Structure 1
Amino acid sequence: MGGGWDPSPTAVAAKCAPILCLLLVVILHQGSLGYEKGWYARRIAAGLILSALGDALLVWPQHFIAGMAAFAGAHVAYIAAFGFYPLKPLLAPICYVACAYYMTLLSPPEGLKVLVPVYGMLLTTMAWRGVARGRAAAAGALLFLISDAILGYSLFGGPLQYRQVLVMSTYYLGQLGIALSALEPAQVAVP
């Protein structure tokens, strides 16, 4: 369950480096943003920090639950950034029904039978809110969802060829989209 990385400090550095670079970009640009966008960028930065922590923990299989918790925290930070306006309520049932169906394809071990669906709901909420926000957030959230769906299926559903390449490429592209959303012009809230 360690994500295919050989457990070592070098693996941690290699796995976390892209996320830490994105974090640096968000932090450096945060100062040039207005209050509303700075607020958004700080939440994206928190999500990136928690994602880097999750990446580091998942290098070691024995830290799988802690890594999953760090990523759950990242999703909460991203949900807080994306917000609930525009709500796009018709999108929610589609997302949650798809999540529920996906969960039927998985057979997590006994200790994860509750945690995996809870994580899936957080991930789905993050994707719904990212798609509702649009632009880079939508692309990033969907790619992150795809990455975790591939990873989850390969761990708890069945073997997948090219798993590591598929998971990491969609993950890093997803995080790139989410980070870039912090650099986009502020969206005007229209009631």
Structure 2
Amino acid sequence: MISPTEVVKRVGVGGRLVAFFKAVCVYFALAPAAPPSAAAVAAKVAPVLCLLLLVLLPRAHPRAPTPAQARYARLVGAGLALSALGDALLVWPQHFVPGMAAFAAAHLAYISAFGWGASWPLAGAACYAVTGYFLTLLAPPAGLRLLVPLYGALLATMAWRALAQARARPRRARAAAAAGALLFLLSDALLGYSLFGGAVPYRRVAVMSTYYVGQLGIALSALDPPALLAAPSS
């Protein structure tokens, strides 16, 4: 797994995660008092944009990435960019549906990155079963009664594909994407329940902390050296 020591080590390599952690601190310092505004958008999307730059900017590796590895990074970058768009839209409650659509597109990008090469149907069944049960706890308004289950199915698929990919890859590579996807799933579950189920204590902290760490995990999966992102082992 990606241990705290490993995260600290990654921060120390060129300080590449310092900007992300600073942006997260700024968001939690400013968000409680920030009304919907351009400043609120900037504070909310800054951590994800830091991860996007981290994934897309060239880095020195002993070996150049293969086309498949470069494609993985591009798709993860697309997912981060679409997530940032979704974050910006959700600052204004009236843009909830467009924001959900942006995040749905982000999940499609992540699903494409994780691929369909590894199976693991048991993990898929677990993801869909847990998501299906969770959806019974929600009571979305009439206009969202179809969209919320569709979004939930897409999110469960993203988590399944991350878990399946992780099972087929070397140990260090497997933890980042899988843990990130599961935390993303948890973040959306907390947000969905707070909107359509009941109260969630410390909602903003619970939702956004799991969201940012989840995105960090997915981004880190694109930063492993080429040898760790090679084709899945048998």
**Shorter-chain TM-score above 0.5:** yes
Secondary structure at 1:90 match in 2: helix
Describe the superposition over 1:132-152 as per-residue Cα deviations: whole angstroms up to 9, x where unpaired: 122211010000000000000
1:103 to 2:135 alignment: yes
Alignment coverage as a number of residue pairs? 189
1:130 to 2:162 alignment: yes
Conserved 8 A contact 1:29-1:183: no
Identity of aligned residues (%): 62
**1:5-84 matched pairs, under 5 angstroms:** 6-29=35-58, 32-84=64-116
1:170 to 2:216 alignment: no
* Structure 1: gaps (5+ residues): none
User: Which has the greater radius of gyration?
Assistant: 2
TM-superposed deviation, 1:30: 7.0
**Number of the residue aligned with 2:149:** 117
State the TM-score, normalized to the length of structure 2. 0.77
Describe the superposition over 1:92-111 as per-residue Cα deviations: whole angstroms up to 9, x where unpaired: 11111111100000000110
State the TM-score, normalized to the length of structure 1. 0.94
Cα distance change on mapping 1:61 and 1:88 into 2, 3 Å: same
Describe the superposition over 1:54-86 as per-residue Cα deviations: whole angstroms up to 9, x where unpaired: 000000000000000000000000000000121
Q: CA RMSD in A?
A: 1.6
* Structure 2: gaps (5+ residues): 1-30, 167-173
CA distance in 1, matches of 2:219, 2:59: 11
CA distance in 2, matches of 1:189, 1:6: 46
User: Structure 1 runs of 4+ off > 2 angstroms?
Assistant: 3-6, 29-34, 187-191
Amino acid at match of 2:186: I
Cα distance change on mapping 1:26 and 1:58 into 2, 3 Å: same
